[in-house]
């Protein structure tokens, strides 16, 4: 399993992901699920991946192959709008899934499906984030729905629902993403560290600020401890029943 999310606020974009993958419960491994593609001054793209690891790795490889190719075909750098790039990623994903679908079905193995979040900014345009479904279609965030999630999204959604608005600062959005990941890690063993975080400030078209947090990183330990204490404190101040 996996949990990745992206948040779009007025000041820019936040991307966050866990790093645990598993095939069954006896093959648990660590892979980064965050990939950035940056042409300074021109465009910034960040891709988050969930689902079948073979599919998501193949999509990333094919994005890189596409960028290296000299032909006239579409690639990550050519899309004029970010939704064209999202469409392209959806096509790569569908092509990869089609190639292996029959074999997977015959062997009774799990699905080849993968989901993606693509976000970033193209010079002259606003920052955007897209969720690309396994079927290759995609949706963007909006002011009313300023975040997108893939993978194990439910445990970490309540805090996002409560805190995130377009006016939220980049740092608060990043903290909220970490809290959302921390709640998910606590409730689902198949989501795990290290956590990766990328912060894209609006109109700064260079490599986003990247952080990798392990369970022992001072920032993560401190956030985890203070959030736990803060929640317990909030809980202890809830109203009493009549008879108490």
Instruction: Please report whether residue 219 would count as binding a second copy according to CB under 8 A.
Output: yes
Cα separation, 159 vs 179, in Å, equals 8
Helix (H, G, I), strand (E, B) or coil at 39: strand
Nearer to a second copy, 86 or 176 (CB): 176
Instruction: Please report whether residue 238 would count as binding a second copy according to CB under 8 A.
Output: yes
Instruction: Please report whether residue 234 would count as binding a second copy according to CB under 8 A.
Output: yes
Rg (CA), the chain: 19
Among 78, 206, 212, 232, binds a second copy (CB under 8 A): 232
- Biggest distance spanned by C-alpha atoms of the chain: 76
**Which of 76, 80, 116 shows the shortest CA–CA distance to 97?**
116
Instruction: Please report whether residue 78 would count as binding a second copy according to CB under 8 A.
Output: no
Instruction: Please report whether residue 162 would count as binding a second copy according to CB under 8 A.
Output: yes
Among 26, 102, 144, 233, binds a second copy (CB under 8 A): 233
Nearest distance from C-beta of residue 10 to a second copy, angstroms: 18
Q: Is 192 in contact with 1 (CB distance < 8 Å)?
A: no
Nearer to a second copy, 71 or 239 (CB): 239
Among 186, 206, 210, 212, binds a second copy (CB under 8 A): 186
Which own/partner contact pairs does 231-239 have at CB distance under 8 Å and 24+ positions apart? none
Cα separation, 227 vs 172, in Å, equals 13
| Interacting positions 165-184 with a second copy (CB under 8 A) | 171-172, 174-176, 179, 183-184
Instruction: Please report whether residue 84 would count as binding a second copy according to CB under 8 A.
Output: no
Helix (H, G, I), strand (E, B) or coil at 85: helix
Beta-bridged to residue 129, according to DSSP, are 119
The residues of the shown chain that bind a second copy, judged by CB under 8 A, are 154-155, 157-159, 161-163, 171-172, 174-176, 179, 183-184, 186-187, 219, 222-223, 226-235, 237-241, 244
């Amino acid at each position: 399993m996996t949990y990745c999310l992206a948040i779009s606020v007025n000041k820019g974009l936040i991307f966050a992901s866990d790093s645990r993958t598993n095939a069954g419960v006896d093959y648990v491994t660590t892979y980064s699920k965050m990939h950035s593609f940056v042409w300074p001054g021109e465009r910034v793209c960040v891709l988050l991946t969930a689902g079948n690891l073979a599919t998501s790795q193949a999509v990333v490889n094919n994005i890189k192959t596409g960028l290296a190719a000299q032909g006239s075909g579409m690639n990550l750098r050519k899309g004029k709008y970010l939704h064209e790039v999202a469409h392209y990623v959806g096509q790569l994903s569908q092509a990869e899934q089609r190639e292996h679908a029959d074999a997977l079905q015959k062997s009774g193995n799990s699905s080849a499906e993968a989901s993606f979040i693509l976000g970033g900014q193209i010079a002259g345009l606003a920052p955007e984030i897209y969720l690309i479904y396994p079927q290759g279609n995609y949706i963007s965030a909006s002011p009313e729905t300023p975040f997108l999630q893939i993978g194990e999204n439910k445990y970490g959604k309540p805090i996002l629902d409560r805190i995130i608005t377009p006016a939220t600062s980049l740092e608060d959005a990043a903290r909220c993403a970490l809290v959302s990941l921390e709640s998910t890690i606590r409730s689902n063993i198949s989501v795990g560290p290290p956590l990766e975080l990328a912060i894209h400030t609006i109109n700064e078209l260079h490599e986003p600020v990247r952080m990798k947090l392990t369970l022992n990183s001072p920032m993560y330990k401190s956030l985890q401890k203070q959030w736990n204490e803060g929640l317990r404190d909030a809980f202890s101040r809830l109203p009493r029943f009549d008879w108490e």
